[in-house]
């Protein structure tokens, strides 16, 4: 029997009044597993009203109490990690082990947010002048919105909600309508951890809901992760309505492979980085840049049999390397990019389009594909494919490889594999990309740093999580205080400290 999801508003489940619903699929089976309500303006208003009403008391809650609630929430998340991973697998299609890892990376941000008494400290300068002290404090903004993508239905909502809430804000999360089950469970667990009702709300929907969230005056900040065209529009609309906005877009991540690299290590790294999560990661390595034909020839020889032998199967089974893609439409989009690469003249070494899984013929499965001799002018190279497709580009020099990643419109992540410390240091210093790995294929920073790209991969002044998130979710108030027994003389000039 197909289940029906709800919204989660003010600590309670709410069906909504729109009478519009979307289908949630099990990608392994290719069948509808649930219905999700699409909010109208009245439904969104209800969520924003709950968040606005809860804000004053939550903002006034001591930083120690917020920390304790976040610590209890973290513990509950660890206890429910397998359950959350099952939800991710069943609605997104990640294999279970990958889903467990993605949930863990979200829990790490909740754990980091538990340290908010240290993170949200201001500054104090004693005796800057006679009897005058100067200090600053970081205050919460109010109602904050998180609009999250389909590919990480646990991790990214936790990135946004945990940091915003720990800083004293209330949140409304609008998850992807493709896999809403996990964000709803996250909100339930927050209340179970002792979080006040109305602090963590989830509203489901499509563009109608998003348009309200981006323009309503009660919303003070918007965090978004998705494709670059939508990220641009979100940033433009939110900022035009006076809101803070961080909007993370697409990616085309390069791995530069120098002749001195251990190619067995490179092949192992590329298999996980390119084909893990069926390539549906904004930090997936989708381009291998080989310095010299010898490197490229050897790498193709190593990769070809491994790509053909990928362990692909139902997302609920254990010990697999890749599950299905999230939807039938997305699978078709990836297949069209593969055909585009063929027509553009790239060499399709492994074609994953004909993959079928016996017993799961209706599932949204696709095999791994490998291209060689991809050229920078090709549209399939310039655009994000977001699927299990690895493209190899051949260059003659380190400098040419550095220029490729630097000149590409996207600038999310990149890596270099080499034994040459000087080359690695130069690459990390000079490449115009936000996150760099040195002999690390997927350089996603840990929770106490921050996540964010450059160029067309990110819009806004602050990154996700880490200390950057504290800056994004708070505003600074600076106080100049005078405590003196002397009478203050009249002075019509601008105050100066002596």
Active site residues: 282
- Select from 211, 161, 245, 218 the least CA-distant residue to 47: 218
- Give the chain's length: 498
Q: What is the CA radius of gyration of the chain?
A: 24
Say which residue the tokens 């013929």 belong to: 361
Q: CA-CA distance, 219 to 53, in Å (whole number)?
A: 13
Q: CA-CA distance, 106 to 331, in Å (whole number)?
A: 26
CB 246 within 8 A of CB 269: no
CB 323 within 8 A of CB 89: yes
Convert 35-57 to b/e letters by CB count within 10 Å (16 or more is b). ebbbbbeebbebbbbbbbebbee
Count Cα neighbours of 78 within 13 Å in the Cβ-side half-sphere: 10
Say which residue the tokens 């004053």 belong to: 56
Show Cβ contacts of residue 342 under 8 Å, excluding neighbours closer than 6 positions: 348
Q: What angle do CA 254, 259, 262 make, to 5 degrees?
A: 85
Distances from the Cα of 256 to the Cαs of 263, 296, 381, in angstroms?
A: 12, 11, 15
Q: What angle do CA 81, 87, 89 make, to 5 degrees?
A: 100
SS3 178: coil
Distances from the Cα of 116 to the Cαs of 120, 122, 162, 467, 472, in angstroms?
A: 6, 12, 10, 10, 14
Q: Side by side, which strands form the sheet with 244-248?
A: 12-14, 7-9, 200-202, 170-174, 143-147, 219-225, 244-248, 458-459
Give backbone dihedrals phi and psi of 254, rounded to 5 degrees, phi first: -100, 145
Q: CA-CA distance, 294 to 288, in Å (whole number)?
A: 14
């Amino acid at each position: 029997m197909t289940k029906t999801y709800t919204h989660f508003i003010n600590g309670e489940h709410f069906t909504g009044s729109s009478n519009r619903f979307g289908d949630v699929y099990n990608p392994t089976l290719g069948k509808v597993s649930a219905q999700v309500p699409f909010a109208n303006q009245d439904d969104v208003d209800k969520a924003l009203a709950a968040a606005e009403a809860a804000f004053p008391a939550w903002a006034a809650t001591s930083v120690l109490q917020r920390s304790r609630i976040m610590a209890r929430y973290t513990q509950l998340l660890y206890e429910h990690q397998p359950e959350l991973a099952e939800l991710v697998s069943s609605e997104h299609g990640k294999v279970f082990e990958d889903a467990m890892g993605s949930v863990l990376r979200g829990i790490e941000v909740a754990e980091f947010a538990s340290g908010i008494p240290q993170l949200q400290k201001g500054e104090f300068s004693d005796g800057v002048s006679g009897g005058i002290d100067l200090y600053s404090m970081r205050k919460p903004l109010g109602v904050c919105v998180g609009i999250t993508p389909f590919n990480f239905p646990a991790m990214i909502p936790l990135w946004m909600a945990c940091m915003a809430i720990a800083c004293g804000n209330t949140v409304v999360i609008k998850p992807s309508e493709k896999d809403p089950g996990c964000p709803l469970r996250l909100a339930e667990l927050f209340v179970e951890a002792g979080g006040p009702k109305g602090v963590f709300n989830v509203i489901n929907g499509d563009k109608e809901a998003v348009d309200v969230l981006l323009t309503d005056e009660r919303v003070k900040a918007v965090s978004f992760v998705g494709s670059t065209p939508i990220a641009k529009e979100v940033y433009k609309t939110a900022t035009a309505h006076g809101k803070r906005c961080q909007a993370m877009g697409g990616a085309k991540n390069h791995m530069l492979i120098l002749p001195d690299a251990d190619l067995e290590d490179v092949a192992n790294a590329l298999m996980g980085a390119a084909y893990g999560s069926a390539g549906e990661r904004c930090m997936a390595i989708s381009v291998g840049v080989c310095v010299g034909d010898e490197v490229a020839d050897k790498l193709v020889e190593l990769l070809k049999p491994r790509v053909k032998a990928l362990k692909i199967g139902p997302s609920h089974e254990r010990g697999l390397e890749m599950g299905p893609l999230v939807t039938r439409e997305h699978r078709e989009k990836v297949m069209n990019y593969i055909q585009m690469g063929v027509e553009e003249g790239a060499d399709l070494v492994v074609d994953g389009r004909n993959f079928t899984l016996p017993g799961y013929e209706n599932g949204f499965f696709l095999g791994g594909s490998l291209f060689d001799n991809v050229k920078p002018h090709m549209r399939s190279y310039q655009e994000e494919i977001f699927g299990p497709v690895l493209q190899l580009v051949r260059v003659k020099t380190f400098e040419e490889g550095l220029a490729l990643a630097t000149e590409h419109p996207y600038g999310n992540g990149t890596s270099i594999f080499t034994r040459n410390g000087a080359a690695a240091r130069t690459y990390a210093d000079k490449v115009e990309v936000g996150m760099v790995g040195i002999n690390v294929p997927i350089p996603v920073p840990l929770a106490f740093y921050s996540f964010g790209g450059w160029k067309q991969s990110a819009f806004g002044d602050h990154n996700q999580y880490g200390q950057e998130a504290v800056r994004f979710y708070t505003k600074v108030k600076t106080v100049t205080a005078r405590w003196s027994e002397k009478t203050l003389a009249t002075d019509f000039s601008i105050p100066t400290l002596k």
